[in-house]
Structure 1
Amino acid sequence: MVRTQIQLTERQARELKRMAAREGVSMAEVIRKAVDAKIREGVSEVPWEERVRRAMAVMGKFHSGIKDLAANHDKYLAEDYMK
């Protein structure tokens, strides 16, 4: 590992400490996880805006025929997992 030094605001440091305590890890581990997530986000081959555009383009194009799907989606999902 490479040792580095950063400066945080009081709020950032406070929230990082809380997150680390809640997860049972060090502040450094929380920061490493955040950096990994940011790196993965930046590595995507398709830009975020394009992914959003594609998702919006397919909304409403598929129909299940189930009238109460929005209200009972958890029930239907659990039933499907039991198959």
Structure 2
Amino acid sequence: MLIKEPIAVYLEQDKYEALKTLAETRHVSLDELIREGVERLLDETPDETPIEEDPLWNIIGIGDSGLGDLAENHDKYLAEIYSDTHEPHK
């Protein structure tokens, strides 16, 4: 069972009434409606993990081409590979 922490929230009267009406329409408690809203907000919020800590960061440098200028001249190298494996157009 998950432990839930109680909190107190102060809302403007119109917001409170709108939430109360929505909860009644959905046949859920006001607490449940607020928990659902918090869950959605947390799901939609991007992860704030620094990019250097992202596991995908580890793929950088795993393929060593031996070419020191590959990043700058990748188009040239791709064209060479293509021309070596394909016949010229007539």
Structure 1: give runs of 5+ residues left out of the alignment: 46-83
Q: How does 1:6-45 map to 2 (within 5 A)?
A: 6-43=9-46
Give how far 1:19 is off.
0.5
Percentage of pairs with the same residue: 27
Once the two structures are superposed, the pairs formed by residues 1-83 of structure 1 within 5 Å of their partners are 1-43=4-46
State the distance in 2 between where 1:4 and 1:32 align: 11
Q: Which runs of 5+ in 2 are unaligned?
A: 49-90
Larger radius of gyration between Structure 1 and Structure 2 = 2
Structure-1 separation of matches of 2:42 and 2:21: 23
TM-score (norm 1): 0.51
Length-normalised TM-score, structure 2: 0.47
Larger relative contact order (Cα-Cα within 8 Å, sequence gap ≥ 6): 1
User: 4+ runs of 1 displaced by more than 6 Å?
Assistant: none
User: Which residue identity lines up with residue 8 of structure 2 in the other structure?
Assistant: Q
